Amino acid sequence: MLKTIALCASLVLSQVVLAQPLIDGKASKKTNNLYQNLKNSAQKNVLIGHQDDMAYGVKWQAKKGRSDVRETVGSYPAMHGWTIDFSENVYNNDSIKYDQMKLWMREVYSRGGINTLSWRPTYPDTQKTPFISNLEPANVLPGASLHQEYLILLNQLALFISQLNMPVILRLFDQHNAREVWWGNGTEASFVSLWRFTIDYLKEVKKVHNIIYAYSPNRSFMEESNMDKDYFYGYPGDDYVDVFGLVNYIEFEDTEVKRQIASNKFKNDLMYIDRLAQKKNKLAAITETGQNGLMDSLWFSQTLLTSFEALDHGALGWVTLGPNKDTTHYYIPFDEHPAAVDFREFRKNQLTIFENDLVEIYK
């Protein structure tokens, strides 16, 4: 209750600090409200998210009401991350049924939580291999050989998001600086053109106006000494981005000295995008992060929370933790995992916001 009151107070007191308008000038009222409220809450708090939270956990899959986050700390995460590739397939690449995903997303929205989507476009299962082998940004732009095939993917995305009838944060062309994805192939100029065409098409042709657009490269492909150049590789311009995001997973280090170095590096990364977003009057987010297996049982308090405490620019809106797939691949403690106590204390901290703490985020 105290944390909820604190969040309400921060929203009220900070109404004078207005975020730059969304890049979609016709965005719905609730979409605008969500963006503004996230910008306001970023001055005092960081929302905590989890990928595929309601879809599966370490020891379960598609069980009604289950969530490893809620079962550990008593609340669902504030942000719920999902991935969409080609929605006419029955399942996405994480074996989640699209029909069920829509139901979970609507449940999140009905409870007052927030949904984010990562779009990693592929083609139908029956035709994926020959299509993907020839795919790169230059080949799908208007007038190019695969443009009509790309419009099939884009139309499916537009339909999926329109049918949700709720604001959605979209990680468009997620981790584009990773060469293993087709949209990361080709030239920087062709990627920028593809990004701009895609957003213009969604807004102006398909009339989809419930999207907040996030730019989200992968930190693993950047050099600390060259962050500006590496982060802005493929950046489409301020008129085509609402959120400065970053995918930033952390490996376990086996000595205290190495762990401190990794923690400081992570803190510097958060400060970098927080400062960047504040300068542009936009939002920042760590769109995926975590330490697989949580071998450092104090990772939440000694890395994540200390990084939050170092921020002073007020633009970091949320951090989303990676999915809990099985006993060898997880980012949230479950049962009585050694990190569970630390995660519970992390949840109690005034800086962190979970779903139970959100109040009228769309108003």
- Interior angle at CA 227, CA 223 and CA 229, nearest 5: 105
Candidates 217, 219, 237, 228; CA nearest to 282 is: 237
Residue 38 domain-assigned (yes or no): yes
Q: Which tens digit of pLDDT belongs to each residue from 336-360?
A: 899 999 999 999 999 999 999 999 9
What rounded mean pLDDT belongs to the chain? 92
Q: Which tens digit of pLDDT belongs to each residue from 194-230?
A: 999 999 999 999 999 999 999 999 999 999 899 999 9
Residue 363 domain-assigned (yes or no): no
Q: Which residues pair with 212 in a beta bridge?
A: 169
> Which pLDDT belongs to residue 12?
47
Residue 21 domain-assigned (yes or no): no
Candidates 328, 344, 356, 316; CA nearest to 40 is: 316
> Which pLDDT belongs to residue 9?
47
The arithmetic mean of pLDDT across residues 117-134, rounded, is 64
Residues 31, 313, 360, 16: is their CA dihedral positive or negative? negative
Residue 23 domain-assigned (yes or no): no
| Residue 254 belongs to domain with CATH number | 3.20.20.80
The arithmetic mean of pLDDT across residues 270-279, rounded, is 96
Q: What residue numbers bound the domain in which 162 lies? A: 2-15+28-357
> Which pLDDT belongs to residue 173?
94
Residue 352 domain-assigned (yes or no): yes
On whether the CB atoms of residues 79 and 49 are closer than 8 A, the answer is yes
313, containing H or E segment? none
Residue 362 domain-assigned (yes or no): no
Q: Which two tokens stand for residue 70?
A: 């809620």
Q: Which two tokens stand for residue 129?
A: 């291999």
Q: Which residues pair with 326 in a beta bridge?
A: 329
On whether the CB atoms of residues 245 and 215 are closer than 8 A, the answer is yes
Percent of the chain with pLDDT over 90: 82
Provide the domain count of the chain.
1
Burial (CB count <10 Å: 0-12, 13-18, 19+), residue 163: exposed
Residue 268 domain-assigned (yes or no): yes
Residue 22 domain-assigned (yes or no): no
On whether the CB atoms of residues 147 and 202 are closer than 8 A, the answer is no
